[in-house]
Amino acid sequence: MSMKVQRKLPSNSRRIRQIENIRESALGLVSTRSFPAIIGTADMMLKSAGVILVGYEKIGSGYCTAIIRGKVADVRLAVEEGARVAEQFGQFVSKSVIPRPTPNMEVVFPLGSRLAELAFEQQGSSRLSNQAIGLLETRGFPAMVGAADAMLKAANVQMAAYETIGDGLCTAIIRGSVADVAVAVEAGMYEAERIGELNAVMVIPRPLEDLEHTLPIASCWLEKPEPLPVLKSKALQQEVEKQPLKLPEIEKVPLAIEESKPVMEKKKQYLDRSELL
């Protein structure tokens, strides 16, 4: 009896811990009206507490929401820090903390932390990872393209991607060293103001892994791993080699022999003689 109890204890304790983690899980949301502002907000939330960045929700007209998960205390702290940063940018809209989201919400809304992992697995690894990030947002596409051109010519940076969130807001995203990104963003700001309207800028020196997984990246920078070869056992391989190859069945076609005219005449004479006899 004691042996059975000892075997069941580890699985029961593991199950209890899983239930406690689910009950302690909380949901945090911070909304802004700028893509660089929401990236900076998400970066601050990740660095201020032990939370997971699920992703972003863009609903148009420039509204973006960063979604995080974690323990209630960590989520509350992260949301407050994120809202403070968003207010400093002048782009804060709203914030919310939900201590224990119901399973129905988990299914319908994009709230599960597993979504970020699946997105990264489908996306693949990027050659621009672990580099500083620069974001420059304009109102109008021409200003964003002009600013991107100025940034690429001003320093040794790479254009990683661009993002549109509605209301005419476009964001150019560059990657490179911290110094190069800072110089490039400054040059892009002057060009954006010359062409159109500059809305927001952001430089993130050391992005965390969660932030890396959720940032947009152009397909030209992605490296997807090649599929591994299918390995077969030696016994199965020998069995396959022993099996004789089946050749396709050949259709039998009767040969039509065309007889010459003298042969046909001799054959006719022979038949006539046999009938007379």
Residue that terminates a domain, selected from 86, 118, 150: 118
Q: Are residues 109 and 189 in the same domain?
A: no
Counting residues of the chain whose pLDDT is more than 70, the rounded percentage is: 64
Residue that terminates a domain, selected from 206, 232, 249: 206
Can you give the CATH number for the domain in which 173 is found? 3.30.70.1710
Q: Which helix (H) or strand (E) is 205 found in, with range?
A: none
- Tell me whether residue 19 is exposed, middle or buried, using C-beta atoms within 10 angstroms of its C-beta: 0 to 12, 13 to 18, 19 or more: exposed
Q: Answer for the pair 177, 128: CB distance below 8 angstroms, yes or no.
A: no
Q: Are residues 87 and 138 in the same domain?
A: no
pLDDT digits (tens, 9 = 90+) for 50-69: 888 888 888 889 999 999 98
Q: Which two tokens stand for residue 260?
A: 């010459």
* Top-confidence residue, 82 or 11: 82
Q: Enumerate residues 6+ apart whose C-beta is below 8 A from 47.
A: 208
Listed in sequence order, the DSSP H helices in the chain are 2-24, 35-48, 72-89, 103-108, 114-123, 141-154, 178-195, 209-214, 234-242, 261-276
* Top-confidence residue, 254 or 10: 254
pLDDT digits (tens, 9 = 90+) for 169-192: 999 999 999 999 999 999 999 999
Indicate the number of domains in the chain: 2
Q: How far is residue 20's CA from residue 88's CA, in Å, rounded to a whole number?
A: 36
Task: State the amino acid at position 225 in one-letter form.
Answer: P
Residue that terminates a domain, selected from 70, 89, 118: 118
Q: What DSSP state is assigned to residue 29?
A: E
Q: Are residues 110 and 38 in the same domain?
A: yes
Q: Which two tokens stand for residue 250?
A: 């050949």
pTM (2 d.p.): 0.69
Enclosing domain of residue 141: 131-206
Task: State the amino acid at position 76 in one-letter form.
Answer: R
Q: Are residues 87 and 23 in the same domain?
A: yes
Q: What size, in residues, is the chain?
A: 277
Q: Which helix (H) or strand (E) is 161 found in, with range?
A: strand 158-164
Q: How far is residue 168's CA from residue 33's CA, in Å, rounded to a whole number?
A: 12
Q: How would you label 26-54 residue by residue, b for 16+ Cβ within 10 Å and e otherwise?
A: bbbbbbbbbbbbbbbbbbbbbebbebbbb
What phi-psi label fits residue 248: left (phi over 0), alpha (psi between -120 and 50 degrees) or beta? beta
Q: Answer for the pair 43, 82: CB distance below 8 angstroms, yes or no.
A: no
* Top-confidence residue, 124 or 55: 55
Q: Does 79 reside within a domain? A: yes
* Per-residue model confidence (pLDDT) at position 191: 95
Q: Enumerate residues 6+ apart whose C-beta is below 8 A from 49.
A: 70, 73, 74, 75, 77, 78, 81
Q: How would you label 197-223 residue by residue, b for 16+ Cβ within 10 Å and e otherwise?
A: ebbbbbbbeebeebbbbbbebeeebee
Q: Are residues 105 and 159 in the same domain?
A: no
* Top-confidence residue, 207 or 118: 207
pLDDT digits (tens, 9 = 90+) for 227-256: 556 555 666 666 656 666 666 676 666 655
